[in-house]
């Protein structure tokens, strides 16, 4: 029953690969009375948000956009604002999300050429390079790539793809990247990698509820907007370009979400993006140690594809992964990610992105270990949790000591208070 979990002791631990835990600072920041989105000082909120999004996408030259939508709309925004009906795009399909973007592109009238890749592998850079090399007439207008395939826990090498397209071949196709489960968690460098459109969403590394599609367009992609004829209205970046420059939106924004985005980006930028990436690596590595100690395999077929935001764990053929997820939720109050379509029942997924720490991951692994044993899997109690525990212990840095509020030095010594004894009444 929806809401049932609210009365469960403790809390529901959310280890699906998005939505993720929302930090207290973000929850508090969103808890505001409704504000006037046309107020003269509203741009003081909006302009720094857009500037800081550029920092998260790691671009100096790009332009960021905030849409009241989700990652799926982000896919459409990327395509519909840069291409025209019938344009050819090239993509690779190796999981549910790379499949869904491919499907959306077809449904909005693009001519999609797909390279099929076994689920568990990532973007085939060499095959894409070969295909682009053969495209002497530059009929391929865009290469569409899923950076982190959330369904299989596979991260692809976008730097290598960008290099192949832009430096080696000098092919003019735009590079569009789905960073929904990578941006703000693992390394993503828009300018350095030659990404033209980056798509993300609020409910994963940004640690917010779902509801914002966050995008960034390169100058080349912005130029492509001028000639693109795909139908668009609500998703047209031009309306945002026209209003964002003054710090407003073309329609009513969700101000609490913007306040939350402010708090979430403050957290990310205060921690430092490189530290955020390093933290995600450590947390993921602990999960991988556990998987190995349990004697199980990950869905990604080679360490080069491993994802630091989500691990998809393959269960033996005699077990239904849905059973593990069911037990984990109902008995231990933790939410895991399910296997989707091709891998339904074969894998379950642990999300380790966003507001997580060693101890939170130990909770996840403890819950998973218990649920797997309950589901009849031959897992030695304490094996995975023990391996993760030792990894986290041996690599933990002390939590930086809380320094307290900044000491403000007053030039004058504080005036001594006169303490006049109260007169007895």
Binding interface with ligand PLP (CB under 6 A): 18, 70-72, 97, 146, 148, 150, 178, 180-181, 201, 210
Query: CB of 14: closest distance to ligand PLP in angstroms?
Result: 13
Smaller CB separation from ligand PLP, 91 or 385 = 91
What's the full length of the chain, in residues? 425
- Do 98 and 121 contact (CB within 8 A), yes or no? no
Chain centroid to CA 145:
15
Q: Which of 197, 204, 172, 211 is nearest to 73 (CA)?
A: 211
Query: CB of 351: closest distance to ligand PLP in angstroms?
Result: 10
Smaller CB separation from ligand PLP, 71 or 286 = 71
The Cα 364–Cα 116 span in angstroms is: 33
Query: CB of 71: closest distance to ligand PLP in angstroms?
Result: 3
Smaller CB separation from ligand PLP, 107 or 139 = 107
Smaller CB separation from ligand PLP, 210 or 241 = 210
Structure tokens at 26: 């973000």
The Cα 140–Cα 135 span in angstroms is: 7
Smaller CB separation from ligand PLP, 96 or 385 = 96
Query: CB of 208: closest distance to ligand PLP in angstroms?
Result: 11
> How far is the CA of 195 from the CAs of 1, 59, 135, 160, 383, in angstroms?
43, 10, 20, 11, 42
Structure tokens at 265: 């980006």
Query: CB of 70: closest distance to ligand PLP in angstroms?
Result: 3
The Cα 357–Cα 103 span in angstroms is: 36
Smaller CB separation from ligand PLP, 258 or 327 = 258
Query: CB of 152: closest distance to ligand PLP in angstroms?
Result: 10
Q: Compute, in degrees rounded to 10, the torsion defined by CA atoms 34, 40, 41, 45.
A: 70
Smaller CB separation from ligand PLP, 18 or 384 = 18
Smaller CB separation from ligand PLP, 74 or 162 = 74
Structure tokens at 242: 């026209």
Strand pairing report for 148-149 and 154-155:
antiparallel
Query: CB of 146: closest distance to ligand PLP in angstroms?
Result: 6
Query: CB of 30: closest distance to ligand PLP in angstroms?
Result: 18
**Helix 273-294, helix 255-271: angle, nearest 10:** 80
Query: CB of 12: closest distance to ligand PLP in angstroms?
Result: 19
How far apart, in Å, do the first and last CA atoms of the chain sit? Answer: 63
Query: CB of 95: closest distance to ligand PLP in angstroms?
Result: 8
The Cα 185–Cα 353 span in angstroms is: 6
Smaller CB separation from ligand PLP, 108 or 210 = 210
Reported as type and span, the H/E element at residue 297 is strand 297-298
Contacts of 421 by beta carbon, 8 Å cutoff, 6+ apart: none
- Cβ-proximal residue to ligand PLP, closest one: 71
* SS percent in the chain: helix, strand, coil, step 5: 40, 15, 45
Contacts of 405 by beta carbon, 8 Å cutoff, 6+ apart: none
Smaller CB separation from ligand PLP, 151 or 379 = 151
The Cα 93–Cα 129 span in angstroms is: 16
């Amino acid at each position: 029953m929806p809401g049932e979990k609210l009365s469960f002791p403790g809390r529901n631990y959310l280890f699906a690969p998005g939505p993720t835990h929302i930090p207290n600072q973000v929850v508090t920041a969103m808890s505001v009375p409704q504000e006037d989105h046309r107020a003269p000082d509203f741009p003081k909120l909006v302009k720094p948000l857009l500037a800081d999004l550029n920092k998260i996408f790691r671009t100096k030259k790009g332009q960021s956009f905030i849409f009241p939508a989700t990652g799926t709309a982000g896919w459409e925004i990327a395509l519909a604002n840069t291409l025209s009906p019938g344009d050819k795009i090239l993509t690779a399909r190796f999981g549910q999300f790379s499949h869904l973007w491919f499907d959306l592109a077809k449904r909005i009238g693009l001519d999609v050429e797909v390279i099929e890749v076994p689920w568990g592998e990532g973007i085939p850079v060499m095959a894409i390079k070969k295909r682009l090399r053969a495209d002497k007439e530059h009929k391929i207008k865009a290469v569409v790539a899923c950076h982190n395939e959330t369904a299989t826990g596979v991260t692809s090498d976008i730097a290598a793809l960008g290099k192949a397209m832009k430096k080696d071949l000098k092919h003019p196709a735009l590079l569009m990247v789905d960073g929904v489960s990578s941006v703000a968690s693992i390394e993503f460098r828009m300018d350095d990698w030659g990404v033209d459109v980056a798509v993300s969403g609020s409910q994963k590394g940004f640690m917010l509820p779902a509801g914002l599609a966050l995008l960034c367009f390169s100058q080349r992609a912005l130029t492509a907007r001028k000639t693109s004829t795909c139908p668009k209205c609500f998703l047209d970046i031009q309306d945002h370009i026209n209003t964002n420059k003054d710090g407003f939106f073309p329609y009513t924004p969700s101000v609490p979400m913007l306040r939350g985005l402010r708090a979430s980006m403050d957290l990310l930028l205060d921690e430092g993006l490189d530290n955020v990436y390093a933290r995600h690596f450590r947390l993921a590595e602990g999960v991988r140690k556990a998987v190995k100690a349990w004697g199980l395999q990950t869905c990604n077929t080679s360490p080069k594809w491993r994802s630091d935001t989500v691990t998809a764990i393959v269960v033996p053929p005699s077990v239904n992964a849905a059973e593990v997820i069911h037990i984990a939720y109902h008995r231990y109050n933790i939410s895991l990610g399910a296997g989707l379509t091709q891998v339904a029942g074969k894998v379950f997924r642990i999300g380790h992105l966003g507001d997580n720490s060693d101890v939170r991951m130990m909770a996840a692994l403890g819950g998973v270990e218990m649920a797997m044993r309950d589901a009849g899997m031959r897992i030695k109690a304490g094996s995975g949790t023990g391996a993760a525990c030792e990894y986290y212990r041996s690599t933990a840095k002390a939590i930086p000591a809380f320094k307290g509020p900044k000491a403000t030095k007053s030039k004058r010594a504080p005036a001594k208070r006169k303490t006049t004894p109260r007169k007895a009444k």
